Amino acid sequence: MAARSVSPGGALLRTSRMFAMADPIPPPPIEGAAGSFFSSTTATVAFPTHQVITTLSSSRKLGDWGLKRPLPLKSTTKSSNPMLRVKAIDTIEQITDYSSATDHGITLRKFQELGIPVTARRPAGGDRPESTTTMNLPQMSAFEEALDATDIHPDKRAELVDMRWKFTGPWLAGMTQGEFNKWLAKEVRPKRPAFRQFLKKKIASERHVAIAKEALDKGQEQPPMVDPSTVTEDELIDYLRKLRHNNQALYDMVGQFLDLAPLMPPDVSQTGLPKEKVRALQFSEVKTPYAERGPPVTHPSAGLSYLRTSMYMENHPIYGPQKYITPVVGRILKPRRQAQATGARIGVAGLIVNTALGDTRFNQRNNPAAVFDKIDPSVEGGAKVWVQPMRAAVDSVGCVVLSVNDASVEATLVAQELLGNAVCLGAERAEDEMNRRETANDLRRRYRAPDSPTTMSSARDYGLSE
Amino acid sequence: MSCRQWLSSALRQCQSSLVQHQQPRLFSTSAPVAAIRDIFGEGPPGTQGNRGPRSSSNSNPNEALHGMLTAGMERGNPLSVEEQRRVMEQHGTQAHIKDMRQNLTTDNYVRQMPRRWRIGEVYSPRDMKPAEMSKWRQGRPPKKDMVDILGFSPLDNYRNFSLISEFVTPMGRIRHSNDTGLRPVNQRKIAKAVRRAIGMGLHPSVHRHPEILRLRRHGMPVAAIPTPADPSQNRL
């Protein structure tokens, strides 16, 4: 065995954290670069960039995380979730640079508790909300063979463009004009001779196909392949002229040569050309889900969930199979403000989620509970709602776009009963809750004269002194 | 919105009056407050002589409340309990008051949460803390060179007064590159475009362009209508 041949010191090094730690991946783009100048460099980033390490509790007591030196006990033993990210194993100051990684570690754990697959179709991310036309379309798992081809022969890359998610070239629709100009000058212009060679190969193969077809018709044996070097410069120039009048063929050639990510055909208004000219353009249909929003930076599942489908049923020990997967509690991070025309922001499993459109509680105006409109500081732990996670997708930046819907009332009740907060069948306790008389304390609170200081902004304005 | 604003501040004043000044100030001689007392018909006898012209507007409670707000309340002459009860009676039920109070509370909290959450972001408890939230309150100059990103030539855009205005302070001075975030080459080009626009009389040298001021006054976005890009010209 290969492992035997390694010296003891070498084996120790191989299994040490120093060599087992993955290199950090590039962080998500800072929002400040996107035109919004409000950002924080210390906020939790949208996806983890460093590996999260953990250790056993007995080792943690000793500060042993498998690193070069033991970590300080004071800052690593208090958390109930031992998760760290190591930014540098050893710095010039001879310290190990580490910080807590519970933010992303717990988020992943919570996401996996949801039990939903990661889909690959039309994720809505960033500022673009999901549109009504795409919200209820059936979603495909990111692991479907039709979408997830990674081991592709270089010659077949062009044919299998709809199955791929990784491209060496850029996604042109996501580039700004300046980036595009720079890319043209730096990357594309030096490749001119190579492109001519590429076209010559194309001409040769087209010619071979024509000759072979003719030979087949005449019943002769197949001719040999046409040598690309036999294509003259004049023929190439003629071919180029023909290409210029066929936009789709030209884009296909350029896209194959540079391995560009697929693009959505533009609308008439997007082209900025007169209608007659747009009519002359022809576009082929695009089947890949990444043409509209750009290809993902990671595998489309981001390794979050390996489920292929959400079409499974949960079985309750008493009530039997359940129609819905167990709903979860979502936190209302920001209430809906009509003055600023901003909707409520809801967090589920540590992610800001996409709420469903249409006639859902998130969108109703006259919600009796008004839980989406008001902040009630007397609610311990903040306002929460039960939501039904529908699906998740990873957008082109790498953010997880989780879509939720209203939770069914029955499913919520069953879930609450599992937590011990409600009673389904034995309805006495629930009835008692409904018929509960006001206690003397409630009455006292209601009729007590409000007491607040006369300062401009008081604790009362934050609902704290009732 | 504005209506709710001043109603809620009235509410705050009313609440404050309840606590510290359980007894109405009998000898308040401030005319507006006296006028309000007159409206409610409860003014102490000593202020009878101060009746102003507003005493005739007894029938309109809105006006009464407004007068109370605009004139006397800021000076710390709160209403008596009875007056406050009357205001509340005239201006809605207890539920309405409660609703207003909740709105005020919500507004106050929302003001402490400047971060605009985007779909797909990850949050942890630390992100809700005031120290972290306050970082989202103040804008920072752009880290990247906007001219390079957008790939336009500043000198070709000297007639674009919206663009020129972005690189000029409200006092008409050219913004420093610390604020604009441009690299020296582009900062010089932008500065030249600003000087050219001002020198040709296309842009005022002391303040914003009047057209921008007009749009702002009407609450319209300055760059509302994107013009289709002309490929022949290197314009924005």
pLDDT tens digits along B131-158: 999 888 887 788 888 899 888 899 999 9
Residue A104 and residue A83: Cα distance in Å, rounded?
9
Confidence at residue B30, expressed as pLDDT on a 0 to 100 scale: 44
List the Cα angle A458/A464/B4 in 5-degree steps. Answer: 60
First to last CA, chain A: 73
pLDDT band at B173 (very low <50, low <70, confident <90, very high): very high
CATH architecture of B146-217: Irregular (4.10)
Q: Band the pLDDT of B44: cuts 50, 70, 90.
A: very low
* CA-based nearest residue to A460, from B197, B11, B80: B11
Residue B82 is predicted with a pLDDT of: 74
Q: In chain B, whose CA is at the least distance from the CA of A40?
A: B135
Model-wide pTM > 0.80: no
Query: What average pLDDT does the segment B38-45 reach?
Result: 40
Structural domain spans, chain B: 2-111, 146-217
CA B188 from chain centre, in angstroms, equals: 35
**What pLDDT sits at residue B88?**
64
Length of chain B: 236
CA angle A342, A344, A347 (to 5 degrees): 135
Facing B106 at nearest CB: one of A103, A181, A374: A374
Q: What is the structure's pLDDT at A131? A: 57
Would the CB atoms of B108 and A354 count as touching at under 8 Å? no
Using CA atoms, how far apart are residues B34 and B44, in angstroms rounded to an integer? 9
Q: Write the ipTM.
A: 0.79
How close is the nearest chain B Cα to the Cα of A107, in Å?
Answer: 8
- Which chain A residues are Cβ-neighbours of B138 within 8 angstroms? 38
pLDDT of residue A341: 66
Q: Do A335 and B106 touch (CB under 8 A)?
A: yes
pLDDT above 70: residue B2: no
What is the residue-level pLDDT of chain A in tens, covering all 466 positions? Answer: 444 678 888 888 777 777 778 889 988 876 644 455 778 888 899 999 999 999 999 999 999 998 888 999 999 998 899 999 999 888 899 899 999 999 999 999 999 999 999 988 654 444 444 555 555 556 788 888 878 887 888 777 777 787 888 888 899 988 888 999 999 999 999 999 999 999 999 999 888 999 899 898 888 888 888 888 888 889 899 999 999 888 888 888 999 899 888 888 777 676 777 777 777 777 777 777 788 788 888 888 888 989 888 888 999 888 889 999 999 999 999 888 776 667 788 999 999 998 876 677 777 766 555 778 888 888 888 888 899 998 888 888 888 989 888 888 899 999 988 888 877 765 555 556 666 777 777 777 777 766 554 455 667 677 776 5
Q: How far apart are CA B108 and CA A337, in angstroms?
A: 12
Predicted local confidence at residue A122, as pLDDT = 55
CB pair distance less than 8 Å for B119 and A353? yes
Query: Nearest-5° angle of CA A367, CA A373, CA A375?
Result: 125
CA B111 to chain centre: 12
pLDDT at B68 over 80: no
C-beta atoms of A102 and B141 within 8 A: no
Which stretches within B52-93 are classed as H helix? 61-67, 81-90
Helix, strand, coil shares of chain B, percent, nearest 5, are 60, 0, 40
Q: Which residue has the tokens 């989202």?
A: B136
Looking at residue B77, its pLDDT comes to: 56
